[in-house]
Amino acid sequence: MSGQGVTILKDTAGPLVDRLRSALRLTSMTAVVGRAERGLFRDHLFALNRSRHKSGGRNYYAQAARGLRVATVGTAMVVSINQVGFAQRVHGGTIKPRSGRKYLTIAFPGMAGYGKRAAEFDDLEFGGAVDPKSGRMRKALIRRPSTALRYRRRRQKDGTLRTYVRPGEVTSREAVFWLVRSVTQQADRSVLPSDRDVLGTAEAAINTRLARLQSRGGDS
């Protein structure tokens, strides 16, 4: 009876253990490939951040790199970039104002509105300004010259406070945002590593992992 039992166990357990080993190897392989791809995507996005954010800003691509995650879905691997606007950059397309709004606000590096929302200013008015790039008049949100006084208190070395009063910083009418009816962005596949690099990285990771496991006797 017990012998039969052992025989039965041998017959079914062998393939079961093999399947388990195989599944474990596959899971560990997926994790390794995922980590290798994570490195590729992060390096790519950090490099993009250095080349495209020379004028400052909020380091959009670096944020995308730090928020990148690699998930395994079954035996597949998914790289996910959790950054607002990233899919728009990859796929391109036309952006229009939300319903009830007439314009989009656009600011370029160097403009006071760059990286900000119009709602963050309380001194904007509708107007027109000359676009230095094209030399043409454009609709814009303009910052009113400020007549307000700016108070600043500084602590002195002896611990006392001294108050400084200066005129407001905005002395001339300045275009903070350009107003446009819509924007069409071209698809930019270069924000992601090339398919060739993605495949090459996966292949290299698989080969390295297999070689390591084989050198240790096949099971790890």
Partner 1 sequence: MIFTAPIPFEEALRSLQARSVFPMSGATRDLAKLDPAIRLRALFSAQVTEVGILDEIQSAVSSFTAGRVDQSSLRVQLRDVVQRSGYRADPEDFGTLRDLTSDARLNLILETNRQMAEGYGHYVEGNDPAILDEWPAQELVRVIDSKVKRKWKRRWIDAGGRFWAGPHRMIALKNDPVWRRLSRFDLPYAPFDFNSGMDLSDVDRDEAVELGLIDEDEQLVPPRVDDLNETLQASPNVRSEALRGMLEETGLGTFDDDGIFNFTAQSEVGR
CB of 150 to partner 1, least distance (A): 8
Binding track, positions 133-172, relative to partner 1; x by CB under 8 A: ------------------xxxxx-----x-----------
CA dist 174 and 124 (Å) reads 10
> Looking at 1, 119, 149, 165, which residue binds partner 1 (CB under 8 A)?
119
CA dist 60 and 39 (Å) reads 18
CB of 59 to partner 1, least distance (A): 5
- Concatenated DSSP letters of 117-182: -GGG-SSEEEEEEE-TTT--EEEEEEEPPP--EEEEEEE-TTS-EEEEEEE-S--S-EEEEEEES-
CA dist 34 and 134 (Å) reads 46
Radius of gyration of the chain (CA): 29
- Concatenated DSSP letters of 189-205: GGGS--HHHHHHHHHHH
CB of 7 to partner 1, least distance (A): 34
CB of 22 to partner 1, least distance (A): 14
Q: Nearest-CA neighbor of 104 among 137, 138, 134? A: 138
- Concatenated DSSP letters of 46-58: HHHHHHH-TT-SS
| 119's tokens | 């709602």
Nearer to partner 1, 3 or 122 (CB): 122
CB of 194 to partner 1, least distance (A): 13
Scanning residues 54 to 73, which ones bind partner 1 (CB under 8 A)?
Answer: 58-59, 62-63, 65-67, 69-71
Nearer to partner 1, 1 or 73 (CB): 73
CB of 130 to partner 1, least distance (A): 26
- Contact stretch for partner 1 (CB under 8 A) within 1-9, 84-92, 135-143, 172-180: 84-92
Binding track, positions 178-207, relative to partner 1; x by CB under 8 A: --------------x------------x--
Q: What is the DSSP letter of 116?
A: S
> Which residues form the interface with partner 1 (CB under 8 A)?
27-29, 31-32, 35, 39, 42-43, 46, 49-50, 58-59, 62-63, 65-67, 69-71, 78, 80-87, 90-91, 115-117, 119-120, 151-155, 161, 192, 205, 208-209, 212, 215-216, 220
